[in-house]
Chain A
Amino acid sequence: SQQGEEDPQALSIQEGENATMNCSYKTSINNLQWYRQNSGRGLVHLILIRSNEREKHSGRLRVTLDTSKKSSSLLITASRAADTASYFCATPKPAGNKLTFGGGTRVLVKP
């Protein structure tokens, strides 16, 4: 099974609302990363949170990490139509830094 699993699989909200998605993982990690992917395009790195951090902000993004529960959340505040995309959490293996991705959360922001 995947190391990272996002929840929910899909989310539909109105512009201006907040979007929250969660990620659970199984093994210990050095950090957890969130990526965005617009339809049919490559992935864009959003934010990296290290295992000794509990919360991190970047613009309208807020990420939390709870290593005791092996979970993370991504909050997008004041969503915009341009935030419509799939969002993936990813955890790197200590050796090689190869990323293990979850199945993603597909977010639709309606204008």
Chain B
Amino acid sequence: DTGVSQNPRHKITKRGQNVTFRCDPISEHNRLYWYRQTLGQGPEFLTYFQNEAQLEKSRLLSDRFSAERPKGSFSTLEIQRTEQGDSAMYLCASSLERLGRMNTEAFFGQGTRLTVV
């Protein structure tokens, strides 16, 4: 399977614990995005990377959230001191952006569903 892979698929954690999610994008894709989706809503943008550089972070990304893409391949999203409000589906997407061809389609992973109890 050469699609976007996310692990774990589900995570239940106690409030106050730290969690880390992993995303493996499609291998040749240079852009990687993280989104958060709560029940009944559309996904909301959190942050994105161009290769290993984190180029933008949403205001939704509080200082308890940190994302990395150390070698421009896989990415991790860590949430420290989780709160019940962090319960959501965390979606990763990747795309291939080329000069002169903007805004191509994004390929999404299956998501990681986080439940904070």
Alpha-carbon distance A43/B48, docked complex (angstroms): 17
Min distance, Cβ A52 to any Cβ of chain B, angstroms: 13
Least CB separation from B58: chain A residue: A98
Min distance, Cβ B26 to any Cβ of chain A, angstroms: 12
Q: Are B106 and A97 in contact (CB under 8 A)?
A: yes
Q: Are B109 and A42 in contact (CB under 8 A)?
A: yes
Q: Are B43 and A96 in contact (CB under 8 A)?
A: no
Q: Are A96 and B110 in contact (CB under 8 A)?
A: no
Chain A binder among B64-72, B73-81, B96-104: B96-104
Least CB separation from A50: chain B residue: B103
Q: Are A31 and B103 in contact (CB under 8 A)?
A: yes
Q: Taking the complex as formed, is B22 at the interface, i.e. its CB lies under 8 A from any CB of chain A?
A: no
Q: Taking the complex as formed, is A40 at the interface, i.e. its CB lies under 8 A from any CB of chain B?
A: yes
Q: Taking the complex as formed, is A67 at the interface, i.e. its CB lies under 8 A from any CB of chain B?
A: no
Min distance, Cβ B60 to any Cβ of chain A, angstroms: 12
The residue from A42, A100, A102 contacting B108, defined by CB atoms under 8 A apart: A42
Q: Mark A12-54, 1 if CB is under 8 A from B, else 0.
A: 0000000000000000001101010000111111001000000
Q: Are A88 and B48 in contact (CB under 8 A)?
A: no
Q: Mark A76-111, 1 if CB is under 8 A from B, else 0.
A: 000000000000101010101111111110000000
4 A-B pairs besides A41-B110, A96-B55, A101-B43 with CB distance below 8 A are A31-B103, A35-B108, A40-B89, A92-B103
For the complex of A and B, list the 8 residue pairs with the smallest distance between their C-beta atoms, beginning with the closest: A101-B42, A42-B108, A43-B108, A42-B110, A92-B103, A45-B105, A98-B45, A30-B103
